[in-house]
Amino acid sequence: MDKIRVLVVDDSALVRRIISDALEKDPEIEVVGTANNGKTAIFKSFVLYPDVITMDIEMPIMDGLEALREIMDKNAKPVIMLSSLTQFGAEATFKALEYGAADFVPKPQAMVQMSFDEISEQLIQKVKAFAHAEINYSAASPKERVVLPGPANDRPFETTEDKRLTEIVDDAYLHSKKRIVAIGTSTGGPSALIKLFKNLPANFACPIVVVQHMPPGFTKAFAERLDSISMLTVKEAEDGDQLRDGWAYIAPGHSHVELYQRNGDDYLALNSGEKVSGHRPSIDVLFRSIARFYSSEVTAVIMTGMGKDGALGITELAQKGSYTIAQDQETSVVFGMNRVAIEMGAVKNILPLDEISKKIVEHL
């Protein structure tokens, strides 16, 4: 079998050597070239025919974001960003995912709760997965709706549809019992979640809990990113958080998140146990914990992502009468987890990304 061809891009010769050596420890991977800036990376992406590119962000001459946009526009292929855990690094990483990067891993020197061996293992796994995956590049860069400025709970309506959805939520407050929305996603999830959250009204009638597969440390920055573009309040989940209507909680990258009840109220518990369905945090862990306390009051959403995490959990929720939604193939960067859930018969509605937030609100 032909080896997976990888182009390694970083302005540091030391990092290029570290990444190359780590990748070539796997007999199925060959580093066919390196580049020290984005301009060279674009040229080598055409002449070396790599299957996957690893891309640094901060580089001279042309940075990784510019190079990524050029590659996705003219010679699309899986690009894995190497990301530093600084404010700039995190913001640039999420922008890269919106531009079409397949995924990211922390740079070896990034201050995250992962060892170099863990980072290397994760990088190798992602290179192998993306080399063989069917990636929908047209779904990798969804256009964003412009959010009008203003306080989080006092932004003007943009369309009559926004106003109609807000009226639906107002009615839900008056007539529905306690509800919860649970969302699971992985590859392609950050840009999809940004689009989904931009379309949820400020007076959203229940809490949302999200598992997005992401390395430790980056989930806090991602929660802050969602909070800045959403009319909801979004935070990284903490142990003991009491769930509040109109708030969204993002599972931290180092722990599973589970729902429990005390005196009739809902709380979140974190645990750093073994990986489940190959992940920590795991979507299956969240969905199954919700199924212990809720049935038809749940709206469960499984979105773009590689693998099958969440498929068993959403099946359990569906069997209890929960309302289930899967993102469709056409708008998924990778039609994996959602495909498995659909094949298991766990999904009531298969929807394009643009329609998911609308359906969540209508079902409250």
Superfamily of domain covering 4-132: Response regulator (3.40.50.2300)
Express as a percent the part of the chain with pLDDT over 90: 71
Place of tokens 């509800």: 179
Of 133, 74, 134, 76, which Cα lies nearest the Cα of 100? 76
- Please write the tens of the pLDDT for every residue from 338-347: 999 999 999 9
Structure confidence at residue 138 (pLDDT) = 73
Residue 251 in contact with residue 215, Cβ under 8 Å?
no
Locate 243 and state its tokens: 């769930």
Nearest to 243 by CA among 213, 275, 286: 286
* Per-residue pLDDT tens over the stretch 264-274: 999 999 999 99
Angle at 314 between CA 311 and CA 317, to 5 degrees: 150
Dihedral Cα 102, 181, 198, 75, nearest 10 deg: 10
**Which one of 3.80.10.10, 3.40.50.300, 3.40.190.10, 3.40.50.180 gives the CATH number of domain 160-362?**
3.40.50.180
Handedness of CA 49, 337, 195, 271 (dihedral sign): negative
Helices (H) and strands (E) in the chain — how many of each? 12, 14
Please list the active-site residues.
Answer: 186, 213, 309
227 Cβ contact list (under 8 Å, min separation 6): 233, 234, 235
Q: What pLDDT sits at residue 162?
A: 55
Residue 88 has a pLDDT of 76
Identical topology for domains 4-132 and 160-362 = yes
Do strands 180-185 and 103-106 pair parallel, antiparallel, or not at all (unpaired)?
A: unpaired
Is residue 294 pLDDT above 80, yes or no? yes
pLDDT score of 144 more than 50 = no
Task: Using the Cα atoms of residue 205, residue 207, residue 213 and residue 215 in order, give the sign of their dihedral.
Answer: positive
Whole-number Å distance between alpha carbons of 274 and 62 = 41
284 vs 85, higher pLDDT: 284
Nearest C-alpha neighbor of 189 from the set 275, 251, 273, 256: 251
Token pair, residue 70, equals 């050029």
CA distance linking residue 204 with residue 199, whole number of Å: 11
Which residue bears the tokens 């699971």?
184
For the segment 348-353, the average pLDDT, to the nearest whole number, is 97
In sequence order, the β-bridge partners of residue 104 are 81
249, with CB counted inside 10 A (0-12, 13-18, 19+), is: buried
Say how many residues make up the chain. 364
Query: Which two tokens mark 220?
Result: 């806090």
Per-residue pLDDT tens digits for 215-230: 888 999 999 999 999 9
Q: Is the peptide bond before 106 cis (omega within 30 degrees of 0)?
A: no
Domain definitions of the chain by residue range: 4-132, 160-362
Beta strand segments in 39-195, E: 52-56, 79-83, 103-106, 180-185
- Strand bridging mode 298-302 / 265-271: unpaired
Provide the token pair at 178.
């306690």
- pLDDT for residue 230: 95
- Show Cβ contacts of residue 274 under 8 Å, excluding neighbours closer than 6 positions: 280
Q: Is the pTM of this model over 0.95?
A: no
Q: What pLDDT does residue 210 have?
A: 98
**Band (112; pLDDT cuts 50, 70, 90):** low
Instruction: Report the chain's mean pLDDT, rounded to a whole number.
Output: 88
